[in-house]
Structure 1
Amino acid sequence: MKLIIKREKLLKELHQINNIISNKPSLPILNNLLLNIKDYVLQFTATDLEIEIITNIYLNQKYKIESITIPARKFYDICRNLPDNSILKLEFYDNKLIIKSNKSYFSISTLPSINFPNINIWKTKINFFISQATLKYLIETTKFSMAQQDIRYYLNGILFEIKEKTIRSVSTDGHRLSICSVKINELLPHHFMILPRKGVIELLRLLDNSETLIELQIGNNNIRIILNNIIFTSKLIDGNFPNYKQILYKNYKKTLEAPCELLKQAFLRTAILSNKKLLVTKLFFSKNQLKITSNNIEQEIAEEIIDIIYNDVDTEIHLNINYILDILNTIKSKKIQFLFNDAYSSVLIKNPENNNLIYIVMPIRL
């Protein structure tokens, strides 16, 4: 059986699905895509045993071809390097995939589909719809606080807490905490789940800023997201996320308010001469004034003084300058607030006009 298809109809889907193919897979067949053709749908499946992505391509003609697996990167590279608007003719026989296009000819090996792993069938506990833009916002505003290869495996991802008509994303690496809350239209039961770091990154690649609704299906150990012509499935982290609410509802006594963009530019300039290993910056708060200072091992110094709203006692705090810049690059507001108690307690950072984004940073003790 021959399949005739335009190159452009394959490229985007193959690019999206190839992202999860590992450079050093635990099984040879994980280098391959599972290819299914039934009636008017061409379906590709890729997995690394933790994440599975299925993409459906709708055809103009009815086909019936048995499942087979093909080398993912080789097939994508062939399609990518053919001329624009090429027509591909695909033939399957003798454990080979034959690709013909104009005067180009390729023969690549295949593996039986019976050996291709798939994420086990699981029962959905919670099912609801959310816009792509909302889910992307929940991820983008908290992803930078995820831990990387922490022995506390439950920190290597984002916690999603669902309760009634609110979804909250939370991440922490033990030194900082990011929290984002959004309202939705559906009334949902209280539920927690931790999406692992790789799942977060790969899902973010698939999302855009549209208001198109996508379907979320949540089970005990898996989450499945159906968007456009793609089905994304990821295993969840089985662990107990720290009780972040103990820190969140702490009583902060001191408050400063500053223009967000002005503060961001001041931190960007002082970061130039900061110690690239320690990344420490000194913040000295005095009446209606903030002095930001950084230095490095070459004994170079950067100092910025900006006007703020602050009417408490003089206080000096040392913070990781990159942590602050991550927050300032995320909060899109005219004003920003810092709430704290003293030089050794956590600092809460937020938009004074909107509490849907809250960040907490632990000070550095020198």
Structure 2
Amino acid sequence: MKFTILRELLIKIIYLVVTIVENKQTLNILSNIFLKVKDKILTISSTDLEIELTGYVKIYNIEINGNINIPAYKLLKICKSLSPGAKINIFIEETNRVVIKSGYSIFRLSTLSYKKFPKLNNIKKSLTDIKISIKKKILKKLIDYTYFAMANKDIRYYLNGMLIEICKNILSFVATDGHRMAICSTYLNRIDNYKKIIIPRKSIIKIKKLLNDNNNDNDIITIIFGSNYINLYMNNYLFTSKLIYGNFPDYKNLILINMATKLFVNRKKLLKSISRISVILTEKNSGIILRIINNKLIVQLNNIQKDEAEENIKINYKIYNLEIGLNINYLIDILNVFDNEYICIIFSKYNKSILVIQEQNNYFYKIESKHIIMAMLL
């Protein structure tokens, strides 16, 4: 292997690929990235045996094709230490060490055999796989509106991830930790299939980072839903993840049916009100009270030191004696990610939960978000 590449091109692709690499690995090979040069294409891959990320960049100064493993963070630090615009020459010397040369700087790194670099096992491609194309900005919204509701290290392992369901022409992302649930759906063109998979939490976080690292929201992303894997093709990257096996809760039956009270409220006003009264919040108290009295939504907070804070918001709804206790952080999560000026809040009968709804409908796409927060005793 021997090739030359601009510093900025190499850093750009390494920055994303090394996000899969953990600093402390049980297997030394997993702290390496795999480089392959062939047909004027440099391919760089990383894996943790559950996730694999591959980046591609076209280069012209290739003298010898080949493959090599390089310690990921050492290579990144070397590239960052070089001057902007520098040309980097990478090749293998006779001692099988990799040489990184730029100007008067020369680095020689020990390397492991490229044949030892692992690939994801048991990835099964079949005719039942479903392939869709979606705009990046839509996929970002589907994840942004739901990811925070995923469980983390829950004994119910199937909750430590996100359900993705394709039902005819509707694509839905669903997450829950048992106390709240987030559902976000959009419409697809010319899709008449059914597929349901659970993507691990770590994979969703990595996908979210990949989507945020590229500024062109109109890019088209191709997704392949397999029986035990998912592939995302975005720009010059291929992301692959294994799936979680399990029975995700039947979210359609958990959406509130018996609606007692439905009101619309200014999202920013509600968020500011909650933020102001949260100054008396304590670590042992995460509860907030929502109360509707005489065309007012009252937001109230008490703590164990018997401090109290209250905010009033005018609403166009008149009802008495409606009160519910909620986890303040769950409500803030929703208000922070939503975009609309007004949101719909539906209070269930017997004040057991609330349903918060946002719809975004324009010529290019339609996205519907539903969030359920279970009541808590205060």
Task: Tell whether the structures are fold-level matches, with TM greater than 0.5.
Answer: yes
Q: Which residue of 1 aligns with 2:288?
A: 281
Q: Deviations over 1:274-316 (max 9, x none)?
A: 2233311111211211211113334332211111122333122
Q: Is 1:39 the counterpart of 2:34 in the alignment?
A: no
Q: Deviations over 1:228-256 (max 9, x none)?
A: 11110001111110011112152212222
SS of equivalent to 2:83: coil
Q: Which residue of 2 aligns with 1:52?
A: 52
Deviates more, 1:180-189 or 1:249-258: 249-258
Q: Which residue of 1 aligns with 2:368?
A: 356
Q: 1:352 to 1:126 in 2, by over 3 A?
A: closer
C-alpha separation in 1, matches of 2:290 and 2:7 = 56
Q: 1:341 to 1:5 in 2, by over 3 A?
A: closer
C-alpha separation in 1, matches of 2:302 and 2:260 = 29
Shift of 1:62: 4.2
Asked whether the equivalents of residues 32 and 70 of structure 1 are also in contact (C-alpha less than 8 Å), the reply is yes
Asked whether the equivalents of residues 51 and 199 of structure 1 are also in contact (C-alpha less than 8 Å), the reply is yes
Asked whether the equivalents of residues 335 and 352 of structure 1 are also in contact (C-alpha less than 8 Å), the reply is no
Shift of 1:70: 0.8
SS of equivalent to 1:220: coil
Q: Which amino acid aligns with 1:132?
A: K
Asked whether the equivalents of residues 165 and 194 of structure 2 are also in contact (C-alpha less than 8 Å), the reply is yes
SS of equivalent to 1:253: strand
Q: Pick from 140, 150, 154: which aligns with 1:146?
A: 150
C-alpha separation in 2, matches of 1:11 and 1:69 = 16
C-alpha separation in 1, matches of 2:302 and 2:63 = 67
Q: Which residue of 1 aligns with 2:66?
A: 66
C-alpha separation in 2, matches of 1:89 and 1:165 = 49
**How many percent of aligned residue pairs carry the same amino acid?**
38
Shift of 1:53: 0.4
Q: Pick from 118, 123, 126: which aligns with 2:125?
A: 123
Deviates more, 1:281-290 or 1:335-344: 335-344
Shift of 1:36: 0.7
Q: Deviations over 1:30-79 (max 9, x none)?
A: 00011111120111110000100011110113444332211011001110
Q: Which residue of 2 aligns with 1:103?
A: 104
State the aligned residue count: 366
Q: 1:353 to 1:165 in 2, by over 3 A?
A: closer
C-alpha separation in 2, matches of 1:240 and 1:156 = 12
C-alpha separation in 2, matches of 1:63 and 1:84 = 23
Q: Pick from 128, 131, 136: which aligns with 1:132?
A: 136
Q: Which amino acid aligns with 1:113?
A: Y
Q: Deviations over 1:148-207 (max 9, x none)?
A: 111111111111111122101110011111111111223131111111111001111111
Shift of 1:344: 4.2
SS of equivalent to 1:240: coil
Q: Is 1:15 the counterpart of 2:19 in the alignment?
A: no
C-alpha separation in 1, matches of 2:306 and 2:98 = 63
Q: What aligned pairs does 1:116-265 form with structure 2 within 5 A after superposition?
A: 116-120=117-121, 121-124=123-126, 125-207=129-211, 208=214, 210-265=217-272
Deviates more, 1:271-280 or 1:50-59: 271-280
Q: 1:352 to 1:23 in 2, by over 3 A?
A: closer
Asked whether the equivalents of residues 2 and 62 of structure 2 are also in contact (C-alpha less than 8 Å), the reply is no
RMSD: 1.7
Asked whether the equivalents of residues 164 and 174 of structure 2 are also in contact (C-alpha less than 8 Å), the reply is yes
C-alpha separation in 2, matches of 1:352 and 1:360 = 15
Q: 1:7 to 1:329 in 2, by over 3 A?
A: same
Can you give the 5+ residue segments of structure 1 that lack an aligned partner in the other structure? none
Can you give the 5+ residue segments of structure 2 that lack an aligned partner in the other structure? 362-366
SS of equivalent to 2:269: helix
Q: Which amino acid aligns with 1:57?
A: V
SS of equivalent to 1:325: helix
Asked whether the equivalents of residues 3 and 62 of structure 2 are also in contact (C-alpha less than 8 Å), the reply is no
C-alpha separation in 2, matches of 1:303 and 1:364 = 18
C-alpha separation in 2, matches of 1:277 and 1:71 = 45
Q: What is the TM-score normalised by the length of structure 2? A: 0.92
C-alpha separation in 2, matches of 1:352 and 1:149 = 31
Q: Deviations over 1:131-153 (max 9, x none)?
A: 11111111111011011111111
Q: Which amino acid aligns with 1:122?
A: K
